[in-house]
A = this chain, B = another copy of it.
Amino acid sequence: MAEPQWLNEDELRAWYAFVAAGALMNRRLDQQLKEDVGITHLQYEILVRLDAAKDRELRMSELAGALLNSKSGLTYQITQLEKAGLVARRSCASDVRAVYAGLTDAGRSMLERAAPGHVALVRELLIDVLTPGQLATVADGLGEVTRRMQESEAPR
């Protein structure tokens, strides 16, 4: 069998830059959102998806698909958000099993308060650091990376 194909120096640089940037970015965003408005990055993302959805609501499974965590994790987070009054569960008429999570007015207002600071930080930490060309490359390259991973997703 062939020797494993180790990463050369450039590949290693790219790999570590990718991993480190992701981790640091997440930490920063979490921190800022927490001290700014008291929610985590994950919760913020949930609110964003709901806000963007038709009627500002989505089924749990749709949310779980868009986000990247497990079903039970989503159940937990939605419960938290519901306790905080930012989201409300509603059962589905046509399918008794299904559950919709909908953004409440408080949730919408939270989003409005959180978004400016969040976006500004994303801009400061990522967008503004890259040239437009680099940004496009990242979008294309990592977009393709993402697409492939989603396709080959081991169906759990």
Contact = CB atoms under 8 A, between A and B. Distances in A.
Interface of A: 4-7, 10-11, 13-15, 17-28, 31, 68, 115-116, 119-120, 122-123, 125-127, 129-146, 148-150, 154
Contacts of A7: 119, 122-123, 127
A138 B135 contact: no
Contact of A21 (B23, B115, B119, B146): B146
Nearest to A5: B123
Given A68-B23, A119-B4, A126 B138 contact: no
Given A18-B138, A138-B14, A149 B24 contact: yes
A130 to B, nearest CB: 5
Given A5-B120, A6-B119, A141 B134 contact: yes
Ranked 8 nearest A-B pairs via Cβ: A22-B22, A4-B116, A14-B139, A17-B142, A134-B141, A17-B143, A23-B68, A13-B139
